[in-house]
Amino acid sequence: MKPFFSYVGLLASILTISSYAAKRPNLIVILADDMGYSDLGCYGGEIKTPNLDRLAKNGIRYTQAYNTSKCWTTRISLLTGLYHHRSDRDFSNTSLLGEILKPAGYRTWWAGKHHANFNPHDRGFDHFSGFLGGAINFWNPGDRARPGEDAPAWGAVYTWAFDEKLLKPFLPPKGFFATDAFTDWSITWLEQKEESADPFFLFLSYNAPHWPLHAHPEDIAKYEGTYDAGYETIRKARYQRQLEMGLFDRETVPLSDPEHESWSSLSKREKEEEALRMEIHAAMVDRMDQNIGRLVERLEELGKLDQTLIFFLVDNGASHERPKRGTKNPDSEWGSVGSFEAIGQSWANAINSPLRKWKVQGLEGGICTPMIAHWPEGLRVPKGSICREPCHLIDFVPTFMELAGQEASYPRNLSPLDGISLTPTFVGQKLLRQKPLFFQYGGWQAIRKGSWKLVRQKTGPWQLYDLSKDRTETQNLASTFPERTQRMQEQWETWATGMEIPFEDFKTIRKKKRE
């Protein structure tokens, strides 16, 4: 297994970290939506992602980076440095990265998905262009057909914001495709001459490859026949590549048991449709990578790439959903404006290789994200390093505040930041996190302390895993270590009490203790 190089000298670490504030790098966070853990080529996938692979080859890949398992909760934690439970769907009682970095002299931009009701332009962002919702028709997010086209599939029509201007519905011209447009807007801001010497923060929040499955025909054609062999063949091939590239070790990261349908049980037509779903999904990831390549190329042309810290990650595990709401034209070609499809649970399991479960779940397949960091002037580890330190979305705000310097202040009247800075990983050092990491969404509850993880669903029994020896959660050790299980359960309950998480079973437990 390729190590994360921890032999970098302490002196070099101190000098590098102390110089970050003086450099004040540009900051870019690129967030994908519902992508599988192993979709990228540099994480074992067969999808063509040369641009992200190049960033990984010259940067750091993280194997234990965590999100919150859900779109809107992830955006709260990423942008505020807090567990999402401290806020609400409108990010109340928080300070966003735009509000923190703008007073420090950063130009602040956000393109793409928001998944809340307020306009980011009112919360510290010089520019926001995007939609205030969760899922859109990639070709036409409006409420009616454009001349010569099918009516757009998908029933939700959201408000779009372009700085202070709000539009509902937003009916773009023909040729619009969301992934391309979000990148176009980002590049336009990069090219602005005003205050161009000032550093910038860009949040490029793609909604790809979230359903509905929409993609350019030429991108879909690249993957014709790629997925004809089915779920398990793809999952095992990805796992084998993950082993070969040193991401995982077979002894400590065994491939989890399959949680998908039997491919052989499907009819010929069902197999063709299932394969096509993944072809379109792959095309969406491919197109996103192409656009990231456009962004990186423009940074190079402007002479800004070396001074820019780029993070790429995903908001939750691959989506198992097959939504029934909304409308579609059953005669439309899949991937086009009138179609509405999703990959479903079986493919979600396959593309989260080697992890268990998927979006919304508290097991690793729901809360773990591939993550890449690229910063030529700031990383002091060998190119292509692999970092195995557990980190979380709540760590982004502390990291960026450190890099922005003393002028990036955090309001004293708000909850203290929950995260820690990731800068030690830039120089090969471990993260000295003092508190466990906590998770809760829907019916799932989890705590990670060191290499140990305790997790359960609703009122089910707690499950205990030693992730240093069993990253894919195949051996439940709760009965083997009852005292550890009890201690970690109590820690989770103490945290949940402070967050005022309204679980009926949790209330019952506390009532019984008082009695």
DSSP string covering 395-423: GHHHHHHHHH-TT----TTSPPP-----H
**Is it true that the peptide bond before 382 is cis, omega within 30 degrees of 0?**
no
- What b/e sequence results for 337-359 when a residue is b if at least 16 CB atoms lie within 10 Å of its CB, and e otherwise? bbbbbbbbbbbbbbbbbbbbbbb
Q: Can you tell me the distance from the alpha carbon of 430 to that of 391, in angstroms, rounded to the nearest whole number?
A: 11
Determine how β-strand 26-32 pairs with β-strand 200-205.
parallel
Residue 162 β-bridge partners: 129, 165
Q: Is 442 exposed, middle or buried (0-12, 13-18, 19+ CB in 10 A)?
A: middle
Query: How distant, in Å, are the alpha carbons of 49, 268, 483, 506 from that of 513?
Result: 53, 57, 17, 11
Q: Can you tell me the distance from the alpha carbon of 362 to that of 445, in angstroms, rounded to the nearest whole number?
A: 7
Q: Can you tell me the distance from the alpha carbon of 439 to that of 446, in angstroms, rounded to the nearest whole number?
A: 5
Contact 397, 87 (CB under 8 A): no
Q: Can you tell me the distance from the alpha carbon of 335 to that of 319, in angstroms, rounded to the nearest whole number?
A: 17
Active site positions, annotated = 71, 115
Query: How distant, in Å, are the alpha carbons of 103, 418, 419 from that of 409?
Result: 8, 15, 15
Share in percent of the chain as helix, strand, coil (round to 5): 35, 15, 50
Q: Can you tell me the distance from the alpha carbon of 204 to that of 314, in angstroms, rounded to the nearest whole number?
A: 12
Q: Can you tell me the distance from the alpha carbon of 281 to that of 311, in angstroms, rounded to the nearest whole number?
A: 22
Residues in CB range of 413: below 8 A, 6 or more apart: none
